Structure 1
């Protein structure tokens, strides 16, 4: 899609939103099942008694009720309609979903960084800021929460935004589901769940299995996930919850990115070196977490959380044999074992100050990650894509100790204040076990510390209208992957990197009606000092440097508009201008070691798009559900110099579902056509890829068929 066409699509979405208040004023009276927003409690704001509508922050809740005509494999499936958030599915299951919020996290080439991730309240982001969403289980999930803006900083290091997934609790009577679906490229998904509860004890179990041959060559994958939750009531209104999950994805093939010429020739091809070296990745994770909530009387309550887990990664890269002749090379096979765990303890008090409602929270948390990183050659003799000689052996440790406090005070009938502060200490330690005459000891340590205050003010001119302003500071340390290689090519870790610090401001409004209309809009700006960016790519390895100032600013708007009992329209649009504000030198081209090319001040931050919009029109007459979707994305820069961009695109999707109630439960058959008009486009990009293979093409038109059975005990 041309830039002009992308602009028209985005402007059309914004124009439609501009007339929503007028249309909503004529909406029908509320139905019996209309949503009441003030009952929504969003835990990512760390507030217990304050509804999301009154929080001076951009908060989105995506309900996962089992009615989506989706396979339920990736978290990106549920996030299309969240403003300010980009969730790009790579069609490469050897790499994690690309997530970014308001430009934070956009430059990540693997995993998720710059954002805080949680599953059932347990961190999925390590203390160094690197996170994963691969183990997020949609099979038994109840909702996803997305927090954007300054108050994300209350979650600590790398909090450009917060994404949380919550699994469903056990219920009485016992109920569950079985779902099967099949789609293009011989993709199959089977999932099931069961939930039950008694007077004191409840539990839920969900499992899924996914297999695909892959849309691109050399992209077959298999994933198995299991999520279990056990919860029990405690005397005095308390609650304890035990959550465990298992994730296994062996030998997911990696087709790597393509150049622009390769995309034009055949977007389904794999890079030649991917086939030559058999690039692939295996991931396995097991995790257990315990949460406790206990009222203490007098408005006081205690909350505690403890978790521990292990994640194992083995990845075969396409690092050329010649590049590994360098005695400082780490080889072409990554063998990474991660043991991690942490504690969080907080005290909460709900009372009053000067006769006005007050909620106060104070707490501390500590997290630790122990990493054993080994590197091996990816060849033995003439055989490529096999584990060879050891080239790296180090034990890394990163840990944080944070203390935080926040208070929400409704100091006047129409005014409320939310204030908080967090002090974080992050410590990195590395002990090198691979030392030789040509490869010196790389051991080292570095400590970071930062205090991040936030403040927000909310005004309620009407019971269903809020205006708010918020401001705060955040920070982002380099991850261990970014510390791994020095920009000057010398031995040792890049302990000279400084954390990036940001000042964030947001001005927003929220509006709702009794008929279920919801409209939210926000203006935002984040100014960053010591922005981290790629310095060079050599021998399959990226090194980083601090490049000075950056700015991310923009606007976002989202609306849900029901038309009577059967029709609804949901729209989201985002405008983002993300730029470097200082000039800095970089390397360009494969093997470059001299950063002599200057990136000018004002250059766009790669991985970000200036405009994106989505719309979903849904019709539910009786037992049917029909929906049309449209998604438009402006062009995406792929490197710091801006010499290339992934072109913008607009695609349409359609779905239909039919439900039947029977004596043995409710059956639901569904069909979905993605990319109805078979539009060729780029799904995601690999920022600053050293060989110019920036592009990961998205699939053409595809059909998904599925069947779901929801059952409940006691049915005849």
Structure 2
């Protein structure tokens, strides 16, 4: 499969004819970046969002590393993108990773407007390669149900068209390709081809391939993604319809967590037994989505329909899991301007899923052994939402209401213990509220908000790997209070600050049994308070000087504690929540010359992180230093990049509250390098 992927990539890169040097230079100079407009909550351009929303364009997402979105998302204050093992991603937005021993949970994700993830909130973010995302809007904290149930945040991820007014003044065809190699057997290649017929109508194909042997023993990864997008815009009606297809083949090994002694002795080793039992994950996934935007009289309708299916094969250290999944759903939103200063949005969203899951013994990691249990699972999530936005003068006021419900139905058709039958589970929130107000001043924008959060258990939390069904697991319910301010000074300096207080009831936390199986329980009440700062400064521009200089910095302070937590006769009230980083600081410096040579430097300081409820085990603080030097040459751009240049012993994601074995640590790579190049061509008509 690896050879076939590389052959396909090579074919795509060579089948598009190149253009002359002069045409290439002119084309790249005319290229216009996509709009930086914030569209969260469906707001119209120019209307304040009154919410903590961050926008990342493609340049920020892939500035240092295209292997994942880690370096891009982690520059945003309040966001911690974690990678416990290669392609094993977690996202902690404003909080601990209590609920996410693996995967992305409690965070709603939409890809090109399509709900991306399972009804309960499990999000397979590893199905997306960096080539599948050009733009991300991050809503931090609960959204009041506007984007589905959740208390952590929302990611709005988009693949963009190549800007029509730029490249396609010369030609209707566009091609881009890149290849990168690096430490630990890293190899990455991607390509994008687009053919535009007329404004808003185009066909686009993207391919991404990535592999690595991994820093640790038994930590290799191999992923292929194929994406096809076709859009059509009606010349008279202005309606825009798009078809999206995404196929992912993903294989990666799980080295497992290390105890403190193993971590100190050799951080590159795998957990004993992981290689022998071939602990690994293997996916085939297909997503088909149809989105549509059109006017219906005075209303604007935005709709998205999707269907998805995946096959999952997963040997564990102690058992073997196989699943087949079919899903479907949709989201419909109606918007109307009632008058010049009053806008209404109404909508519904539904996600359905059928899963056939089987759990076996794992004799040697090559194939399943005896069947332990088999389940047929139906999951259903429903959401209704509405929003009223009032904009008198410089003010904007927002009222949002939503109602959501989640249902699981598990039919255990076989159990080695002889216990079969059906189990039902329902979690609902009749009303969630979002109240927000913003005011635009000559010197900046100020907002205040109060937002409800509701997060039911995901399927993997309700139905755990060892076969347990957590019928007594309660959903999380919380309320977030926030004030934020942003401004612009002379069009060059852009600072922002937000302060929040989040009170959460029935927080869901993770722990592991003596086998390492992840289990879940409610932890009572938590208090989560924080300050987030960010500022960018374009000090010198190459349009004025021979050298350009830019700066970016962000800082996060968190005070996250248990208000009420008692377990096993021990009172943990007042303790810090494990997984939450008290202090995080990012500093970026960009230096560029008129000839195109550019140097980017990035420094991240991450404070020591408590890893258990008792706060007696910590991950040490670390300084992460990255650098990238790039230079354009004809139609190419070549670069060399380095990460963890100080060779710090660190982890991008740890395991929390292991019940036995003290396997807390998932070491990240030491000092490592990448070198690569990209190529762009826009052929003549």
TM-score, normalised with respect to structure 1? 0.85
Q: Go from structure 1 to structure 2 and tell me whether the alpha carbon gap of 1:272 and 1:36 turns closer, same or farther (over 3 Å shift).
A: closer
Change (3 A) 1:518 1:181: same
1:371 aligns with 2:355: yes
Tell me the distance in 1 between the aligned counterparts of 2:130 and 2:652. Answer: 21
Indicate conservation of the 8 Å contact 1:116/1:162, yes or no: yes
CA RMSD of aligned residues (A): 2.3
Structure 2 residue 604 is matched with structure 1 residue 631: yes
In the TM superposition, 1:96-495 aligns within 5 A as: 96-103=88-95, 105-151=97-143, 153-169=145-161, 171=164, 172=168, 173-199=172-198, 201-234=201-234, 235-250=236-251, 252-298=252-298, 300-319=299-318, 332-352=319-339, 356-379=340-363, 383=364, 386-411=367-392, 413-435=393-415, 438-450=417-429, 451-462=431-442, 465-485=444-464, 493-495=469-471
Once the two structures are TM-superposed, the CA of residue 493 in structure 1 deviates from its matched residue by: 1.6
Look up the match of 1:522: 498
2:126 partner SS: coil
1:494 Cα deviation after fit: 1.5
In 1, distance between residues paired with 2:624 and 2:281? 30
Match in the other structure for 2:545: none
CA displacement at 1:386 relative to structure 2? 3.7
**Residue 55 of structure 2 corresponds to which residue in structure 1?**
61
- In 2, Cα distance between the equivalents of 1:244 and 1:168? 15
- 1:79-111, Cα deviation, whole Å (9 max, x unpaired): 121110001222433xx2121110065541010
Shift of 1:538: 4.4
Q: Tell me, which stretches of 5 or more residues in structure 2 are unaligned?
A: 1-28, 542-547
Task: Find the aligned partners of 1:417 and 1:220 in 2 and give their Cα distance.
Answer: 50
Deviation at 1:620, TM superposition (A): 1.2
Q: Distance in 2 between matches of 1:541 and 1:202?
A: 47
Superposed displacement of residue 280, structure 1: 1.2
Counterpart-to-counterpart distance in 1, 2:242 and 2:268: 45
Residues 577 and 439 from structure 1, CA distance in 2 versus in 1: closer, same or farther, beyond 3 angstroms? farther
Cα distance in 2 for residues equivalent to 1:138 and 1:653: 18
Deviations 1:399-457 (A, max 9, x none): 1121110122112x221101111100111111111146x33125210211112110100
CA pair 217-201 structure 1, distance change in 2 beyond 3 A: same
How many residue pairs are counted as aligned between the two chains? Answer: 639
User: Deviation above 6 Å: which 4+ runs of structure 1?
Assistant: none
1:132-189 CA-to-partner distances (Å, cap 9, x unmatched) read 2112232253211111134363212224201122112254332121100111011100
TM-score using structure 2 length: 0.89
> Cα 1:360–1:677, aligned 2, differ >3 Å: closer, same or farther?
same
CA contact (8 A) 2:511 2:658 kept: no
Cα distance in 1 for residues equivalent to 2:147 and 2:160: 23
Partner residue, 1:325: none
* Distance of 1:501 and 1:672 partners within structure 2: 43
CA contact (8 A) 1:441 1:492 kept: no
Task: Please give the alpha-carbon distance, in whole angstroms, between the structure 1 residues aligned to 2:211 and 2:384.
Answer: 43
Unaligned 5+ runs, structure 1? 1-31, 320-331, 586-595
Residue number in structure 1 paired with 2:573? 601
Among 642, 658, 661, the alignment partner of 1:673 is: 642
Correspondence list, 1:21-36, <5 A: none
Does the C-alpha gap of structure 1 residues 695 and 187 become closer, same or farther in structure 2, counting only changes over 3 Å?
same
Contact 2:96 2:579 in 1 (8 A): no
- Asked if 1:85 is matched to 2:79, the reply is yes
Distance 1:684 1:485, change over 3 A: closer
> Which residue of the partner structure matches residue 13 of structure 2?
none
Question: How far is 1:492 from its partner?
Answer: 5.5
Tell me by how many angstroms 1:684 deviates. Answer: 1.4
Quote the Cα distance in structure 2 between the aligned partners of 1:364 and 1:204.
29
Query: Taking structure 1 as reference, are residues 599 and 267 closer, same or farther at Cα in structure 2, changes over 3 Å only?
Result: farther
1:581 to 2:563 alignment: yes
